[in-house]
Structure 1
Amino acid sequence: MEIGYTLMCEQRSPRELVQDAVLAERAGFDFAVMSDHFHPWLEAQGHSGYAWAVLGAVAQVTERIPLMTYVTCPTIRYHPAIVAQKAATVSLLSGGRFSLGLGAGENLNEHVVGRGWPQVDVRHEMLAEAVEIIRELFTGRYVTHRGMYFDVEGARLFDAPEGEVPIGIAASGPRSCELAGNLADFLIAIEPRRELVEMFEAGGGEGKPGVAQLPVCWGEDEEECRRLAHEQFAWALGGWKIQSELPNTTNFEAFAASVREEDVAQMIPCGPDPQGIVEGVREFAGAGFRRVALIQIGEQQKEFCSFYERELAGALKEL
């Protein structure tokens, strides 16, 4: 089991994220993932810097820790050719430590460029075509593509990646799992559901790893941790059908208003006891995932990294 650290652009400033990456590497995390949003989920989170600029900075201040987007949508806000260029550049800056996590996106982040929000079947078709373009461009050859959703005219990455850039695809149901199994090097998911791994493997992903994410709110005061988790992560209880469709923070605020603190605390380990985090990771391990990135909610990132190095890493290695 590999344990990762989440650089969450929605709750930390760009400068803080770079500093957090250094702390995560020193604490011994096995990898780091970064969200790629235009908006935060809730205004209480308060941030949403440009993930790719931050990744470039992180690549320069770290030496060992693998990096990954969790996740980038390469279809609406970004053209797939631009995603290929960005991913290749970060791979070069990091010395080959970068993996490209992709997904079909959320309305929250993609509608901002005024191109609307397609139905989910169309989004999956767009994602499949985007992956094809990105892989072609990674070869460093000239690419011309006439597709259903995207055109590429004589494009070439003159700074192509020096080695492979693994591509992961986020999945939450049968169609996306099949797409990921067929096109991706690894599965990305946010729920500890064994059936996701099974559908991914049945779609062509047998032998490929799964990467998951677990929000936690560690701190000495459990009551304060519960309050903070409710304030900043109540949106997460809506599930993917809500998360992908609501267009702005106002809508997520309205949904979050109906979520109780105790409901959030049941989903998110809160407080100083590491056992809740261990059990959360164990659920993903039991579902077939072998890499889990932790999201520490709130500002205590330095303290959480110290806790991980001092106590949590050892407890998780027992898995």
Structure 2
Amino acid sequence: MPEYGYFLATEEFGPAELVEQARMAEQAGFEALWISDHYHPWNAAQGQSPFVWSVIGALAEAVSLPVQTAVTCPTVRMHPAVVAQAAATSAVLTGGRFRLGVGTGEALNEHILGGAWPPVHIRLEMLEEAVQIMRNLFTGAEVSHQGTHYTVEKARLYTVPDEPVPIDVSGFGPKATALAARIGDGFATMTPDETLVSHYRKGGGGGKPVSGGVRVSYGPDRDAAARRARALWGHQLLPGEVGQILPTPRHFEQLDPLVTDGAAAAHFTCGDDVDEHVRTLTAFTDAGFDRVYVSQIGPDQRSFFDFYRTKVLPQVQGAPPASPQGTG
């Protein structure tokens, strides 16, 4: 049976709001949490970006759900040895309920220290080396490493979980998917692409978990929901490598006119049609995904959780419809 989780958007909400959403997600019947790891939001309308590791510490106390970053870039803004310490501590705090999702990142978050933003083939090399370093540190042994991109000198993590932190690798194209299949404990992506899943499985992913994330804009007014989706997440419709190479929220805002409300309505699930929301989730499971994480766009979180608890999750989880009482 697939697992359905909630995707916490650090770009849109402050730390206290994220913790409250996690509580509502657990009460609504979601089974796990994803949480984004950003230094900047994508645009000023989103308006937030708390430090994810602080929020995970709060989540460990607030809920009993598994937590995973979606995703952390352990290569430029933070050295992999430091990410390893953060991940190991998160795993200890959550009682082993933490997975580390990693990817090659975006200039939006990683350029802040002033270095050059590497081309994609170098970023993939860096990610592979970073994963090797983190796995070595998760053993609790002293680690020294002199590699192509990183140096580690006699580092040891003294606070480690009983089992090494699982590392899932994200991918949106064939090269990153092949890397995920070769080095990851799981695979993560944002579209229900059966071909990518097949490439992952055949490339070495085997029976390892495949996770997908999707954003929806629930609300009684479909047009208003589409406008909200475009204003907050319209950048997801920009083509090519734009999302990886633009350095600031201001640059993404300059491209706002390229995305229309109609395009947003076609791309995102908008409104309150139960069947449409169910189809959005089952598209992932039909494509072979084991875990699906959904995120509500915008501030009307409580109504979203009530809607999913009473009408959507019972259908995809195969349970009888829930009673119409509130989530909190």
Task: Classify 1:70/1:239 alpha carbon distance in 2 versus 1 (closer, same or farther; 3 Å).
Answer: farther
SS in 2 for 1:315: helix
Kept in 1, the 8 Å contact 2:12–2:49? The answer is yes
Distance 2:275 2:3 in 1: 17
Distance 1:244 1:142 in 2: 34
Identical amino acids, percent of aligned pairs: 42
Aligned-pair distance for 1:240? Answer: 6.0
Kept in 2, the 8 Å contact 1:143–1:154? The answer is yes
Equivalent residue, structure 1, for 2:256: 256
Aligned-pair distance for 1:221? Answer: 2.0
Kept in 2, the 8 Å contact 1:211–1:290? The answer is yes
Equivalent residue, structure 1, for 2:162: 162
SS in 1 for 2:255: helix
SS in 2 for 1:109: helix
C-alpha RMSD of the superposition: 1.3
Aligned-pair distance for 1:286? Answer: 2.2
Distance 1:67 1:281 in 2: 19
Equivalent residue, structure 2, for 1:66: 66
Kept in 2, the 8 Å contact 1:172–1:240? The answer is no
Of 158-167 and 12-21, deviating more is 158-167
Give the residue type in structure 1 aligned to 2:85.
Q
Shift >6 Å, 4+ stretches: none
Distance 1:186 1:165 in 2: 12
Equivalent residue, structure 2, for 1:171: 171
Q: Deviation per CA, 1:161-187, whole angstroms, max 9, x where unpaired?
A: 222321100011121111100110110
Question: What is the TM-score when the length of structure 2 is the normalising length?
Answer: 0.94
Equivalent residue, structure 1, for 2:14: 13
Equivalent residue, structure 2, for 1:82: 82
Give the residue type in structure 2 aligned to 1:268.
F
Give the residue type in structure 1 aligned to 2:18.
L
Kept in 1, the 8 Å contact 2:135–2:164? The answer is no
Task: Classify 1:205/1:239 alpha carbon distance in 2 versus 1 (closer, same or farther; 3 Å).
Answer: farther
| Structure 1 segments unaligned to the other structure (5+ residues) | none
Equivalent residue, structure 1, for 2:97: 97
Distance 2:143 2:31 in 1: 35
Kept in 1, the 8 Å contact 2:92–2:161? The answer is yes
Aligned-pair distance for 1:315? Answer: 2.0
SS in 2 for 1:257: helix
Give the residue type in structure 2 aligned to 1:3.
Y
Aligned-pair distance for 1:160? Answer: 1.1
Distance 2:36 2:50 in 1: 10
Would you say how many aligned residue pairs link Structure 1 and Structure 2? Answer: 318
Distance 2:318 2:107 in 1: 39
Aligned-pair distance for 1:258? Answer: 1.1
Equivalent residue, structure 1, for 2:326: none
Kept in 2, the 8 Å contact 1:80–1:133? The answer is yes
